[in-house]
């Protein structure tokens, strides 16, 4: 039971870092896009390396011990691509009106820290009471509604994405808490720019920092909800003996997790890292993530 609570705690930590992104958006005098690029690339490096070097290997061993090398290899491969298919289907049902990982330039983030800075994308309201003023005020309200819609769609998109991430972190941490923590750190790093993506449009639509922060934090709480869902499934199928998951089930789960993480890395993290960075920032972060994950895995084996 201790492993279950550890797995929940690790998943909760990863999910709540969207709130850190929101805090950075409201407090940092300048958004450090280079840091976001390197950290997101780092996250992708961690996920890709741990997926191919550890998770698939461990999942394959579990399946081979249950089904033999030949059949176990086929089930391992099918499980990996099933994970990719699952997250791909989820990716296709999320609202597509706005990219959840859209880069926000300095002109957009400046008013979050400096109330005197001009709001971007808002029509200036003329001082005279003519028909142009009426149209301008109408456009201003339309843009506010559109910004709120963008923020809510972004929050919903990130929430749906974070649910399988919570599943992956929980199952990995349940099998190996050290491995689960490494995955959680990678997910936490890429949740920071997601928190910014939710906060910016909601703040512009409402002018309310507290509301923007709550929406941002709530989008990350889908990860512990994913962990809770995973736990309920395990209780249904295994009863109260959750910590003793049969090796064939754990092997399938681990390979599905690897597929989910590879998809997230290639479809979300690397494009986001490239969008935020300059020059070789993205690849430097990627290699650093792989190197640190490799060293961490070697140290865990001693």
Q: What digits encode the pLDDT tens for the residues 201-231?
A: 677 777 778 888 888 888 888 888 888 888 8
How far is the C-alpha of 270 from the C-alpha of 31, rounded, in Å? 19
Q: How far apart are the first and last CA of the chain?
A: 26
Give the range with max mean pLDDT: 81-85, 145-149, 239-243. Answer: 81-85
Of 292 and 194, which is predicted with more confidence? 292
Nearest CA to 265 out of 174, 173, 183 is that of 183
Helices assigned H by DSSP within the chain = 2-27, 33-50, 56-67, 69-93, 106-113, 131-175, 177-206, 209-220, 222-238, 247-264, 270-276, 281-300
Q: Is the model's pLDDT at 298 over the cut of 70?
A: yes
Task: With CA atoms as reference, report the closest residue to 201 among 87, 116, 130, 102.
Answer: 102
* Residue 115 within a domain: no
Pick from 253, 256, 282: nearest CA to 38: 282
Calculate mean pLDDT across residues 124-134: 39
pLDDT at position 97, please? 47
Residue 154: band (very low, low, confident or very high) from pLDDT cuts 50, 70, 90 = low
- Beta-carbon neighbour count of residue 2 at 10 Å? 8
Q: How far apart are CA 258 and CA 255, in angstroms?
A: 5
Q: CA-to-CA distance for 20 and 155, rounded, in angstroms?
A: 15
- 188 in a domain, yes or no? yes
Over 50: is that where the pLDDT of 126 sits?
no
Encoding tokens for residue 162? 């974070």
**Burial of 123 by CB count in 10 Å (0-12 exposed, 13-18 middle, 19+ buried)?**
middle
Inside any domain, residue 50 = yes
> Is 272 within the bounds of a domain?
yes
pLDDT value at residue 93: 75
Mean pLDDT score of the chain: 77
**50 is in which domain, residue-wise?**
2-106+120-300
For the CA atoms of 272, 277, 283, 284, the dihedral, rounded to the nearest 10 degrees, stands at -130
Residue 145: which pLDDT band, with cuts at 50, 70 and 90?
low
Q: What is the pLDDT of residue 240?
A: 66
pLDDT of residue 139: 47
Q: Based on the number of CB atoms within 10 Å of its own CB, is 186 exposed (0-12), middle (13-18) or buried (19 or more)?
A: buried
- pLDDT tier at 84, thresholds 50, 70, 90: very high
Does 144 fall in a domain?
yes
Establish if 112 belongs to a structural domain.
Answer: no
What count of other Cβ atoms lies within 10 Å of the Cβ of residue 262?
A: 22
At residue 236, does pLDDT exceed 90?
no
Decide if 93 contacts 160 (C-beta within 8 A): yes
Cα 91 versus chain centre, distance: 12
pLDDT score for 261: 87
Percentage above 90 pLDDT, the chain:
15
The pLDDT score that the predictor gives to residue 133 is 38
Q: Is residue 161 situated within a structural domain?
A: yes
For residue 199, the model assigns a pLDDT of 78
C-alpha torsion sign, points 164, 22, 198, 209: positive
Q: What is the mean pLDDT of the segment spanning 56-71? A: 92
Q: Is residue 41 predicted with pLDDT exceeding 60? A: yes
Q: What is the per-residue pLDDT for 226?
A: 85
Question: What is the pLDDT confidence band of residue 137, given thresholds at 50, 70 and 90?
Answer: very low
- In a domain? residue 111: no
Q: Are 276 and 37 in contact (CB under 8 A)?
A: yes
Q: Looking at the 3D structure of the chain, how many domains does it have?
A: 1
């Amino acid at each position: 039971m201790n492993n279950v609570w550890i797995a929940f705690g690790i998943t909760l930590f990863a999910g709540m870092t969207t709130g850190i992104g929101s805090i950075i958006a409201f407090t940092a005098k300048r958004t450090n896009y280079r840091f976001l690029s390197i950290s997101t690339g780092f996250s992708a490096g961690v996920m890709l390396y741990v997926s191919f070097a550890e998770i698939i290997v461990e999942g394959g061993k579990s399946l081979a011990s249950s089904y033999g090398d030949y059949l176990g290899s086929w089930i391992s491969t099918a499980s990996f691509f099933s994970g990719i298919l699952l997250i791909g289907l989820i990716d296709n049902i999320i609202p597509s009106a706005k990219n959840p990982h859209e880069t926000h330039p300095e002109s957009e983030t400046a008013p979050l820290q400096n109330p005197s800075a001009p709001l971007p994308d808002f029509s200036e309201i003329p001082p005279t009471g003519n028909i142009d003023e009426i149209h301008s005020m109408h456009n201003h309200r339309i843009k506010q509604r559109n910004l709120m819609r963008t923020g809510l769609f972004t929050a919903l998109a990130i929430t749906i994405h974070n649910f399988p991430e919570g599943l992956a972190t929980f199952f990995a941490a349940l099998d190996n808490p050290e491995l689960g923590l490494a995955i959680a750190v990678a997910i936490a790093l890429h949740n920071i720019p997601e928190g910014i993506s939710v906060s910016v449009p909601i703040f512009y639509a409402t002018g309310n920092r507290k509301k923007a922060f709550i929406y941002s934090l709530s989008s990350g709480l889908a990860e512990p909800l994913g962990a809770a869902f995973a736990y309920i499934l395990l209780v249904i199928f295994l009863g109260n003996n959750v910590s003793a998951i049969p090796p064939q089930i754990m092997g399938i789960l681990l390979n599905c997790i690897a597929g989910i993480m590879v998809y997230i890395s290639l479809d979300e993290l690397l494009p986001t890292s490239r969008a935020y960075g300059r020059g070789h920032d993205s690849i430097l972060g990627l290699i650093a993530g792989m190197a640190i994950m490799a060293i961490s895995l070697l140290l865990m084996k001693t």
